[in-house]
Amino acid sequence: MTHQWHENLPIYKQLVIKIRQGILNQLYPEGSALPSVRAVSAELSINHITVSKAYHELLDEGLIEKRRGLGMFVKTGAKETLLHAEKSKFLAEDLPNFIEKMQQLKIDKQEVISQIQQLITENKHD
């Protein structure tokens, strides 16, 4: 929310975000192996070091672990950790920022609320 200038983000950072989402989406379930550095670098046509940098960031966040000679694996508990962290951040930062901006711009609250209601009900399958 705060700064969604996703475009100018360095490639490795975009990768980090994509993988984080993959963990949340069960695309990479806990215990599963991430695609190898080489595989990703080949698939996306980017340097392997760039991929490695992304994986290291996830390593530092404690979301994945290295098994030597085998590759990178999603840690057990990673999804929960992530969900928790992002939820906290959302409630502590994004929500207040959002509301503050809404007020500053004198956006009609009813318009916002109805949009939220509407979009939520559309995806009732959640």
Q: Is 10 in the site for DNA (CB under 7 A)?
A: yes
Q: Is 27 in the site for a copy of itself (CB under 8 A)?
A: no
Give the tokens for residue 27: 């695309």
| Cα 106 to Cα 13: distance, rounded to the nearest angstrom | 34
Q: Which does 124 bind (CB under 5 to 8 A by kind): DNA, a copy of itself, none?
A: none
Give the tokens for residue 2: 């705060």
CB 63 within 8 A of CB 8: no
Give the number of other Cβ atoms within 10 Å of residue 1's Cβ.
12
Residues that bind a copy of itself in the complex, under the rule CB under 8 A? 1-6, 9-11, 13, 21, 24, 47, 53, 56-57, 59-61, 68-69, 83, 86-87, 90-91, 93-95, 97-99, 101-107, 109, 112-113, 115-117, 119-120, 123, 126
